[in-house]
Amino acid sequence: MKALIVGNANRKLDNISAAQLYPFFQERQKLQRQLGLQFNHIQAETFSDISQACKNTKADIIFIRPSWREDPNEAEKVLAEVRKNNPNQKLIFLDPFDQTASRYFNVLPYVDWFLKYQRLKDVSQYRQKFIGGVMFTDYLARELNYDLQGWHVGSEVPEGYEHRIATGWNFATAKRFRKALRGSLLSKFRPPTKKTIDIFCRLSFGSPGKLEWYGQYRLAAVKMLEALASEYSLAVDMSPEAARLVSKKQYAYEIKHSRIVFAPFGWGEVTWRDYEAACHNCLLIKPSIEHVDTNPNIFVAGETYVPTELNLSDVEEKFRYYLQHPEEATRIAANAKSAYNAYFEQGEFIKTIQQVISDSN
Asked if 223 and 244 sit in the same domain, the reply is yes
Check which CATH number belongs to the domain holding 191 and give it.
Answer: 3.40.50.2000
Task: Give CA torsion, residues 316, 320, 323, 324, to 10 deg.
Answer: -170
pLDDT band, very low/low/confident/very high, at 207 (cuts 50, 70, 90):
confident
> Is residue 350 in a domain?
no
Residue 129 three-state SS: coil
The closest alpha carbon to 98, from 67, 62, 131, belongs to 67
294-328 pLDDT, tens digit per residue, is 999 999 999 999 999 999 999 999 999 999 999 99
> Is residue 353 in a domain?
no
Asked if 300 and 188 sit in the same domain, the reply is yes
Strands (DSSP E) along the chain, which ranges?
A: 2-7, 38-43, 61-65, 90-94, 113-116, 118-120, 165-167, 197-201, 234-236, 258-262, 283-287, 292-294, 306-308
pLDDT band, very low/low/confident/very high, at 269 (cuts 50, 70, 90):
very high
Whole-angstrom Cα distance, residue 275 to residue 150? 31
DSSP classification of residue 92? E
User: How many structural domains comprise the chain?
Assistant: 2
Neighbouring-strand partners of residue 107? none
Asked if 194 and 120 sit in the same domain, the reply is no
pLDDT band, very low/low/confident/very high, at 187 (cuts 50, 70, 90):
low
3-state secondary structure 211-249: CCHHHHHHHHHHHCCHHHCCCCCEEECCCHHHHCCCCHH
| Residue 246 contacts residue 237 (beta carbons within 8 Å) | yes
Asked if 33 and 144 sit in the same domain, the reply is yes
14-44 pLDDT, tens digit per residue, is 889 999 999 999 999 999 999 999 999 999 9
DSSP classification of residue 347? T
Integer-rounded Cα Rg, in Å, for the chain is: 21
Other CB atoms within 10 Å distance of the CB of residue 210: 10
Average pLDDT over residues 169-195: 82
Other CB atoms within 10 Å distance of the CB of residue 177: 22
91-138 pLDDT, tens digit per residue, is 999 999 999 999 999 999 999 999 999 999 999 999 999 999 999 999
**Omega into 296 within 30° of 0, i.e. cis?**
yes
Q: What percent of the chain has pLDDT over 90?
A: 87
Of 135, 167, 199, the position where a domain reaches its end is: 167
pTM of the model: 0.93
> Is residue 255 in a domain?
yes
Domain span at residue 208? 176-345
Whole-angstrom Cα distance, residue 90 to residue 9? 21
Of 167, 202, 228, the position where a domain reaches its end is: 167
Whether the pLDDT of residue 235 is over 80: the answer is yes
pLDDT band, very low/low/confident/very high, at 182 (cuts 50, 70, 90):
confident
